[in-house]
Structure 1
C-alpha cells in the first residue's frame, strides 16, 4: 500500500485559512463599530444579532466547505485505490480495480490537480481535488495504476 500525501502545511489551503482569519480580524472592528453605532441609535439588539448571524455563518460555512473539499490524497493498494480527505479522514471513497474502467487526472487551470474515476458501468465520480498530492506523486500514481491495467486520461498539465 502506497500513500501519496504531502504534508498539510505545504498546501495553499493554509493560505486560504490565514487569509480568512486576517480578513475577519480586519473586518471585526468595523462590525463592532457599526454594532455600537446601531445600538446608540436605538436599533433592537435582536435585529443586529440576527443580521450578524445571517452574514457571518454562511461565510464561515463556505470557507469551511472550500477547505474541506480541496483536501484529498490518494492511497494505492493491491486491490484498488482510496481517495481520503486529509482534514476529515472518514470522508473517503474506495474503488476496486475490477470496477474501474478509466481514471481522469489533471488540472483545469486551478492551483491543484483533480482525480475522477469512471467505473465500468459508465458512472463518473465527483472530481476530487487532490491538493495534498505533489506533481511527482501524481506521476507515481499514474505509473502504479497503469501497472494494474487501468486506462489513464490526463487533462491539462499536472501542477
Structure 2
C-alpha cells in the first residue's frame, strides 16, 4: 500500500487563507451595507451585534466546508484506491479495481488544484475530489500504479 501525501500544514494553511479571503471579499460588503442601513434607521448597536452572529455562523460553516473539501490524498493498495480527507480522515471513499472503468486526473487551469474522478463500471462518475495534498510527482506515480492494474487513465489539463 502506497500513501501519496505531502506535508499537511503547507497546503492546509494556503487553502484556509484563500478560502477566508475569497469568502470575505464576497460577503463583507453585503454585511456592511446591511449594518449601515440598520444604523441609519435607528436600530441599537446591541441588536445589530446579535443579528450579525446570524451572518457569521453560515460564513464560518462555509469556510470550514470549502477547506475540508479541498484537502484529499490518495492511497493505492492491491485491492483498490482510497481517497481520504486530510483534515477529517473518516471522510473517505474506497474504489475497488474490479468496479473501476477509468480514472480521470487533471486540473481545470488557472489557480485550481489537481483533482481525481473515478468512473465506475455502472457508468457513474464520482465527484471530482481535490487532491491538493498530493504533489505533481506523486500524481504521476499514482497514474503509473493504477495503469499497472489495467485501469484506463485520462489526464485533463496540466498537472500542478
Q: Same fold (TM over 0.5)?
A: yes
Quote the Cα distance in structure 1 between the aligned partners of 2:115 and 2:83.
11
Match of 2:146 in 1: 145
Describe the SS at the equivalent of 1:90. coil
Within 1, Cα distance between the matches of 2:16 and 2:67? 8
- The size of the alignment, in residue pairs, is 145
Write out the 4+ residue segments of structure 1 that deviate beyond 6 Å after TM superposition. none
* 1:4-45 C-alpha deviation (Å, 9 max, x unpaired): 00001231x313434639x98xx9xxx9xx8xxx6xx66163
C-alpha distance in 1 between matches for 2:113 and 2:64 = 17
TM-score, with structure 2 as normaliser: 0.81
Q: Which position in structure 2 is the counterpart of 1:62?
A: 62
- Alignment match, 1:2: 2
For residue 73 of structure 2, what is the aligned residue in structure 1?
73
Q: Which residue of the partner structure matches residue 114 of structure 1?
A: 115
1:84 equivalent in alignment to 2:45: no
Unaligned segments of structure 1, at least 5 residues: none
Q: 1:70 to 1:147 in 2, by over 3 A?
A: same
Are the counterparts in 1 of residues 81 and 94 from structure 2 also a CA contact under 8 Å? yes
Please give the root-mean-square deviation of Cα atoms over the aligned residues, in Å: 2.4
Could you tell me how far 1:50 is from its partner in structure 2? 3.6
Q: How many Å separate the matches in 1 of 2:72 and 2:158?
A: 19
Unaligned runs of 5+ in 2: none
The aligned counterpart of 1:128 is 129
